[in-house]
Amino acid sequence: MIVLGLSGALGHDASAALIADGEIIAAAEEERFIRDKHAKGKMPIEAAQYCLTAAGINPADVDVVAFPYASIPLSSPARWHYAKRYWYAPDRALDAIFNGNRRYRRNRDRVLTMGKELGIDWERTKFRAVEHHIAHASSAYHLSGFKERTAILGVDGKGEYTTTFFGYGENGQIHRIKEFYDPDSLAGVYGAITEYLGFEMLDGEYKVMGMAPYGDPNRYDLSRILPETADGFKADTRLVNTVGLRRYKENGTGFYFSPKLIEWLGPRRVGDSAEEPWIHYAAAIQKLFEERCLMLLEKYLGETLRQTGLLAFAGGGALNVKLNQCIVALPHVKELFVQPASGDSGTALGAASFVAAEAGQCPPRMRHAYLGPAYGDEQILEAVKSLGRRVTAKRDDDIVTITADLLAAGHPVAWFQGRMEFGPRALGNRSILGCPSASNIADRINEQIKFRERWRPFCPSVLDRVAPSIIGTDHPAPFMTITFDVVPEWKPRIPEVVHEDGTARVQIVEKDTNPRYYALLEALEVRTGNAVVLNTSLNRRGEPMVCSPTDALNMFMGCDLEYLVLGDWLVTKGSE
């Protein structure tokens, strides 16, 4: 059975994924192809075309198109909860009751139209709508490889109406335990404070997380925005998660919080600095988010976790790596699997995996995220030649050794290899690399290449055989989705990848999933004594991660990078 998953219903992070006979063949975000971060308002036509081409599949042969957005019946408590909580915006409240599936119908029609453009035969191909949070749940549970009863956690801004999901998986089936509905959203509240702190919601949450260690979480108590209730929590919509006339507006732009929040906390942060009081607000919202998530985890999933210790986690909130560190530290958690594409881009894969699992064709554990396009010598040379004498390219069969020498000498290197990663993390195929013991390498990359805030941390890629000695645990971490405390004796050895709070968001590299990257780490170990490399995504601020050699060269020419490795080619800048 061939299943094509498509996402984009919520107006951002459109993507496509293809599963054939229980195997994930390809997955990619639309933003990478159209060079528009988050692909807002777009459908994933370029990503879908890539997936079909990569699989060698005629669009007319697709059996099911799975879409992570479904109709919600009036009998569901979700629509009634939404109407009750948004009483102050009666147009929205009444719409939820009387026309609550309007967005679903519009999105279904967009998928049907897009399918015709692709060449999908709707006489033969079935359209299958999967609830948004079930798609998130499937992307984690069905791809975790866990065979025993598994706790499932979903923390997201919102789908159709659901914001937070607690359930369990057993024998391939997903069971609901508890759901929370809009506007009661843990991730939504975090996103509202993200906007208040001067970042873009659905993009800047990780910046808040990076800022938090510089502040004191106890300086300000933000718990009134997310008070506890008998069944869990409730967002205070007088302050956050607001709509309509309650929203704070600035220069014609409405925000997800109210003027009352400004009256309470003071003006919004602007600029790139990490200063008081905003660093303390960042620390406080991070602490509150962790506390509420952990409380709910115990309340609804504690019993399941004490049975097997297995937890599968997805949704935008699953990209909060500090929360994930707290979860791993729980005594009754044996293993946490976080879907590497936990945000809404991953729902294309989740919807497809849900349909495949229903048919008895559940894919095996997702051990890597290298599911995007790859490019060969011919395409690399064509891109290089288009720049004429502005660049020089030299091919070398021992490019790993050359790159290791450059890194050990203290140079940042752009590293473009193999298939592009699916999800927001660069995992060694579309990366900017640096030697983590080279003094000030992080500042150089921030200021001269990435053009981003100076306080943002960088992450290490680490060989599997040395990882336990660095992070003090053998917990799996292939996707940079969990932070760990760095063992004291390692901190001075790799200072450029240890954050302010002594943690690092580690990627553990295994030889069979990325042999060339593994070989590079081994070569760097020979030169520096550390099988660790600083790894950040190959892009500039505000841009998507690069996809093609042309994208990589454009990025290379627009910053102060001196070395770009494209496959077996070392590219440097020419005289023109």
Helix axes 377-385, 549-557, angle to 10 degrees: 40
SS (H, E, C) 457-513: CCEEEEECCCHHHHHCCCCCCCCCCCEEECCHHHCCCCHHHCCCCCEEECEEECCCC
Q: Which residues contact 68 (CB under 8 A, 6 or more apart)?
A: 5, 7, 9, 130, 131, 132, 135, 136, 159, 344, 347, 348, 350, 351
Contact criterion met (CB below 8 Å) for 518 and 509 = yes
DSSP 242-298: --GGGS-EETTEE-SB-HHHHHHH-SPP-SS---TTHHHHHHHHHHHHHHHHHHHHH
Beta strands 564-566 and 413-416 are parallel
Give catalytic status of residue 12 as yes or no.
yes
Q: Which residues contact 179 (CB under 8 A, 6 or more apart)?
A: 78, 133, 162, 164, 165, 166
Q: Which two tokens stand for residue 436?
A: 């983590």
Nearest-5° Cα angle at 40, 38 to 45: 85
Catalytic entry in 12, 81, 133, 136: 12
Helix count and strand count (H, E) for the chain: 18, 22
**Active site (catalytic) residues:** 12
